[in-house]
Amino acid sequence: MMAFREKSSQSHLFYGWYILASSFVILFFNSGARFSFGVMFKPMLVEFGWNRGSISLAFFLNMTIYALSLIVVGRFYDRYGPKWVIIISTIFLSIGYASISIIGSFWQFLICYGIIAAIGLGGTSVPFVAALMSKWFEKNRGLAISSAPSGNSLGHDALVPLFTIIVLRYGWRVSYLSIGIIMLVVNITLALGVIKGDPDDLGQKPLGSGNGDHANEQKDQSPSEVNPRDLGLKEALHTYSFWLFLVVMFVCGGGDFLVTTHLIPLVTDYGISPTTAGNMLAWYGLMSLAGVLLAGPASDLIGNKIPIVATFMLRFLLFLLILKYQNLVSFYVFALAFGFTHLITAPLTVT
């Protein structure tokens, strides 16, 4: 591992690209694990006789703990760096997901999924990776921040159909156990072998900072393009921008996970097969990949306000569509178009 780092630091290839690739892989598997929840939804209801309100409560608890964990992750990142954030988060995630495979009651599911796994989400999430990318990239930061989270979209697209097959053939318990093992091996290997938090640790500078072998010349910036000074949490709480950012992320994230959790159960309620529903969610993920990849360059070119407003307008119209029409065509239109906006506010707001 050390030899790899030393060689990379002396090579002509900017080490930030290794960070980006590793972040892509981490988000790839994290996404598959998170969005497989919709696949497990109905089989768990059938086995335990729970109602949808109960499962939704577990999901709400999971998202609440996840949101709170981001605060802790941010402080931990500043103090100890990204490697230990990923390792500790992955341990929680793996234990939480693997433990679901042996649950026998709802309160056990609440603890495993709603609390333990949720604690680990913050350190393997899009906001965490976006913050890491901002340390390594100054030039084309929007492109970098959208490229790494594209792993989130691609994982959604590739792994949800795979977990659908596993659930249909071997059951949801085997699927959750597989998720726990895969994430433990992949994430910790990358954290120990590749992830570094600061270019200075390798004698490099952020790409485009104007210094070092890998830097590019800095262009003149207008006042609106200059980053404001760093703010502490107490200072940020008194700014309008912080609360606006919080509202945008809350509404966008709430819509994202509402759809990914309930789309498959909703579609199958109207007589569509689980396999078709799973493929629909995969197409959702593929469109998300396109949206996230385009969001970063768009923010570099025209700013983030227009794309954010357009995103929310489109989502509003799509919810009206799905309330009016419930058939295979309308479900596919909804999945494709809403998927294009999935997690799109992450690269738009962080940049």
Residue 241 belongs to a domain: yes
Q: Given this model, what pLDDT does residue 143 score? A: 67
**Above 70 in pLDDT, residue 52?**
yes
Residue 109 belongs to a domain: yes
Question: What is the residue range of 80's domain?
Answer: 15-208+234-350
pTM passes above 0.75: no
Residue 227 belongs to a domain: no
Q: How far apart are CA 176 and CA 37, in angstroms?
A: 9
pLDDT band per the 50, 70, 90 thresholds, residue 94? very high
Residue 221 belongs to a domain: no
Q: Given this model, what pLDDT does residue 252 score? A: 67
Residue 2 belongs to a domain: no
Average pLDDT taken over every residue of the chain: 79
**Above 60 in pLDDT, residue 18?**
yes
CATH for 259: 1.20.1250.20
Which of 37-46, 49-58, 328-337 holds the top average pLDDT? Answer: 328-337
For the residues 59-76, what does the mean pLDDT come to? 84
Residue 261 belongs to a domain: yes
C-beta of residue 197 within 8 angstroms of C-beta of residue 132:
yes
Q: For 100-126, what is each residue's pLDDT tens digit?
A: 999 999 999 999 999 999 999 888 887
pLDDT band per the 50, 70, 90 thresholds, residue 349? low
**Above 90 in pLDDT, residue 98?**
yes
Taking the alpha carbons at both ends of the chain, their separation in whole angstroms is: 31
pLDDT band per the 50, 70, 90 thresholds, residue 218? very low
pLDDT band per the 50, 70, 90 thresholds, residue 245? low
Residue 8 belongs to a domain: no
How many structural domains does the chain have? Answer: 1
Which of 89-98, 126-135, 260-269 holds the top average pLDDT? Answer: 89-98
Residue 337 belongs to a domain: yes
**Above 70 in pLDDT, residue 240?**
no
Give the least confident one: 16-30, 195-209, 228-242, 319-333.
228-242
Token pair for 156: 């959604």
Q: Given this model, what pLDDT does residue 342 score? A: 79
Give the least confident one: 23-37, 141-155, 157-171, 223-237.
223-237
